[in-house]
Chain A
Amino acid sequence: MPEFPRDSVGLVTPETAHFADPLALACGRTLPAYDLVYETYGTLNAERSNAILICHALSGHHHAAGFHAADDRKPGWWDAHIGPGKSIDTDRFFVVSVNNLGGCHGSTGPTSVNPETGRQWGPDFPIMTVLDWVHSQARLADRLGIERFAAVIGGSLGGMQVLQWTLSYPERIAHAVVIAATPKLSAQNIAFNEVARQAIRSDPDFHDGWYADHDTAPRRGLKLARMVGHITYLSEDAMGSKFGRDLRTTDLNFGFDVEFQVESYLRYQGDTFSTSFDANTYLLMTKALDYFDPAGAHDGELSRALAPAACPFLVVSFTTDWRFPPSRSKELVNALIRADKSVSYVNIDSTHGHDAFLMPEPRYQAVFAAFMNRVAGDLGLEGHS
């Protein structure tokens, strides 16, 4: 047996659920059939009342906790918060983490084969919305026999899915945790997404999205997209303390090669990402972000849009997050208050910017664990203290 940390869920294996029922999408098109790849941690209790759904962010996937192999260098993306004794305690909860449709980690997406044409969907894959994802996640819950989630939890774009859950399936969600999210993107957020999209689409290797047919991929564009995105995930302070103006060599060389450490870091991040992520998926995910606006159908009145929500909310923001700053979370909180909903809001001091939602920050962990303990208490789960 390989040795994993005691508070790790250990070795995990993704599973695939195939759905043959067509899924009608917000864009007007229909996915005739699809696969959802997911992982689970912990054990579903006999009452099926202890299930938690984890919704992932822009570049996330189903592998949220544990390890796929004994020699994995890193655990899943939210391992800091999922595991035995952690905020989302797998000794108590049954955690479901799913790769969203349109993704590139196993669930049906642009790199899947379109059964109607026999070739990859590529750019022809329908544009997905947060609402579509939530519908697909509900079908996965049906498949797993989960009538109602004890909590649906997510950060960033994941938090938007949580919010959508409370509106689309209020009877199927007992608690909502919305972290580092926003009820809608600002013009600046959309602007950054558009820069990322243009970087990809103007890469000569993009071929209007049919790059797979040309045995290539728009890696330079995807790298640029990730570099600009990455800047928005970190705070100025975090970048400053991590890199400052440090040089890789002792002298300036008056050229355009990598000189500053921050350049080297960004290029590395971009390179790694561009070889592991699909460009069409990235385009889709940024569109899903841009389109999300539950208040849109209610003359911009978010509190009216929130009318269907019926569960207690925990809303968390981070002081140095400038992608979705605390003011955006407060916007959601104030609308929830106006709509007379049950909500708690915390603004965690962190230097990590938007990425703070992924990190173990003591106060963040304490309040997250306190809320999850309350979730267990509300539902009378074993192990509630």
Chain B
Amino acid sequence: MMRADLKLIHAWIPEGARVLDLGCGEGTLLAALARDKGVTGYGLEIDPEGITACVAKGVNVIEQNLDEGLANFDDNACDLVVMTQALQALRRPDLMLDEMLRVAGECIITFPNFAYWRHRAYLGFKGYMPVSRSLPHAWYDTPNIHLSTFNDFERLCRDKGLSIVDRAVGIGDHEGHWTSRWWPNLFGEIAIFRVARRP
């Protein structure tokens, strides 16, 4: 069973694309894309179990820390760079966005929306840092050092002069709830952006 954000990305990626998946986990997305759409490419991962799972699936996986950049990938080496649920754990998400759009003309990014109403309620009413399905860690051991909101990310794209090709938010694993229409910053638990360099 593929995670809901992965399903949406799967639908967005064209046949035969060359894809780089940053923080590819167990290679679920790349394996499905290779099988269904003839997509090729590489995943980057640092988790040993994830890497072994990729190797077992026949997914090309490179042990590489995203905070060290993508210098080993040439300009326009790929058609698309994907990064799911890793942005918030990077040291410099803004620089990574530049790197992603150097390696490919387009990228797809998903991250937990900190402005999701449940997170707001948790902080607003309980007075504690939110802990939820999409943010399961305590404040002291979380890998998520750069939490942001749907609006924050949109503003970053605007400041960088990037074009937002598509955007949506989702609620947990409910595929049917992907929406970009009503108050995404409030009702979206997971934000998903498809961003391109300006032509």
Q: Across the interface, do A338 and B52 meet the contact criterion of CB distance under 8 Å?
A: no
A-B contact count (CB 8 A): 54
- Interface size in chain A (residues, C-beta < 8 A): 22
The interface stretch among B53-61, B130-138, B170-178, B181-189 is: B53-61
The minimal Cβ–Cβ distance linking A86 to chain B, given in whole angstroms, is 16
Q: Which residues of B contact A343 (CB under 8 A)?
A: 42, 60, 62
Which of chain A's residues have a CB closer than 8 A to the CB of B60? 312, 342-344
Interface residue B51 (Cβ < 8 Å from any Cβ of A): yes
**Chain B interface residue number, banded:** 20 to 34
A373, CB-defined interface residue at 8 Å: yes
Q: CB of A347 within 8 A of chain B?
A: yes
Q: With contacts A312-B58, A373-B56 known, is A338 near B74, CB below 8 A?
A: yes
Q: How far is the CA of A314 from the CA of B62 in the complex (A)?
A: 10
By the criterion CB–CB under 8 Å, are A346 and B63 in contact? yes
Complex contact A345–B52 (CB within 8 A): no
Task: Report whether A378 and B52 are in contact in the complex, using a CB–CB cutoff of 8 Å.
Answer: no
Please name the residue on chain A nearest to B18 by beta carbon.
A340
Interface segment among A24-32, A46-54, A95-103, A363-371: the answer is A363-371
Chain B interface: which of A68-76, A133-141, A164-172, A329-337? A329-337
Distance, CA A330 to CA B61, complexed state (A):
13
**CB within 8 Å for A374 and B62 given contacts A337-B73, A338-B74, A367-B51:** no
In residues 40-84 of chain B, which contact A (Cβ within 8 Å)? 42, 48, 51-64, 72-74, 77
Which residue of the partner chain B has the closest CB to A335? Answer: B72
In the bound complex, what is the Cα–Cα distance between A347 and B60 (angstroms)? 14
C-alpha gap A343/B57 in the complex (Å): 13
A377 proximal to B (CB < 8 A): yes
Within 8 A of A (CB), among B7-56: 42, 48, 51-56
Are the C-beta atoms of A374 and B55 separated by less than 8 Å? yes
Contact (A344, B56) CB under 8 Å given A337-B42, A337-B73, A363-B48: no
Looking at the complex, which one of B52, B62, B74, B77 makes contact with A370 (CB distance below 8 Å)?
B52
Contacts A337-B42, A346-B63, A378-B58 hold; do A330 and B72 have CB atoms under 8 A apart? yes
Chain B residues with CB under 8 Å of A363's CB are: 48, 52
Q: Are A366 and B58 closer than 8 Å at their CB atoms?
A: no
Q: Which residues from A are CB-within-8-Å of B72?
A: 330, 333-334, 337
Nearest chain-B residue to A375 (Cβ)?
B58
Give Cα A215–Cα B63 distance, bound, in whole angstroms: 52
Whether A371 contacts B42 by the Cβ 8 Å rule is: no
B55 and A370 form a contact (CB under 8 A)? yes
Q: Give chain A nearest CB distance to B116 CB in angstroms.
A: 36
Q: In the complex, which of the residues B48, B58, B62, B74 contacts A345, with contact meaning CB atoms closer than 8 Å?
A: B62
Q: Which of B42, B56, B57, B59 has the most CB of A within 10 A?
A: B56
Output the nearest chain B residue to A313 by Cβ-Cβ distance: B60
Residue with the greatest number of chain B CB neighbours at <10 A, chosen from A337, A338, A342, A371: A337
Assembly CA distance A345 to B63 (angstroms): 6
* B55 and A367 contact, CB distance less than 8 A: yes
A319-367 residues with Cβ-Cβ distance < 8 A to B are 330, 333-334, 337-338, 342-347, 363, 366-367
Bound Cα distance A363, B48 (Å): 8
Chain A residues near B59 (CB, 8 Å)?
344
Would you call A333 and B62 a contact (CB within 8 A)?
yes
B77 neighbours in A (Cβ, 8 Å): 337-338
Shortest beta-carbon distance from A368 to chain B in Å: 9
The answer to whether B56 and A374 touch across the interface, beta carbons within 8 angstroms, is yes
Q: Which residues of B contact A312 (CB under 8 A)?
A: 58, 60
- By a CB distance below 8 angstroms, the chain B residues around A347 are 63
Residue of A344, A367, A373 with highest tally of chain B CB at under 10 A:
A344
Q: What residues of chain B lie closer than 8 Å to A366, measured between beta carbons? A: 48, 52
Closest to A366 in B: B52
Q: What is the chain A residue whose CB lies nearest that of B44?
A: A345
**What is the minimal beta-carbon distance from B103 to any residue of chain A, in angstroms?**
11
CA distance A371 to B57 in the complex (A): 9
Q: How far is the CB of A137 from chain B (nearest CB, A)?
A: 26
**CB closest residue in chain B, given A343:** B60
| B61: min CB distance to chain A, Å | 5
A373–B48 Cα distance when bound, in Å, is: 17
User: Provided the pairs A330-B72, A374-B55 are in contact, do residues A344 and B61 lie with their beta carbons within 8 angstroms?
Assistant: yes
CB distance from A65 to the nearest CB of B (A): 23
Which residues in chain A, 18-48, are within 8 Å of chain B measured between CB atoms? none
Q: Which residue of A lies closest to B51 (CB)?
A: A346
B34 CB, min distance to chain A CBs, angstroms: 11
Instruction: Please list 19 pairs of residues, one from A and one from B, whose beta carbons are closer than 8 Å in the complex, sorted by A's number.
Output: A314-B55, A330-B72, A333-B72, A334-B72, A337-B42, A337-B72, A342-B60, A343-B42, A343-B62, A344-B54, A344-B59, A345-B62, A345-B63, A346-B51, A366-B52, A367-B51, A370-B52, A374-B55, A378-B58
| A-B interface, 10 closest residue pairs, ranked by CB to CB distance from nearest | A370-B56, A334-B72, A370-B55, A345-B62, A367-B52, A344-B61, A347-B63, A370-B52, A374-B58, A366-B52
Q: A371-B55, A371-B56 are in contact. List 5 more A-B contacts (CB 8 A).
A: A343-B42, A346-B55, A367-B48, A374-B56, A378-B58
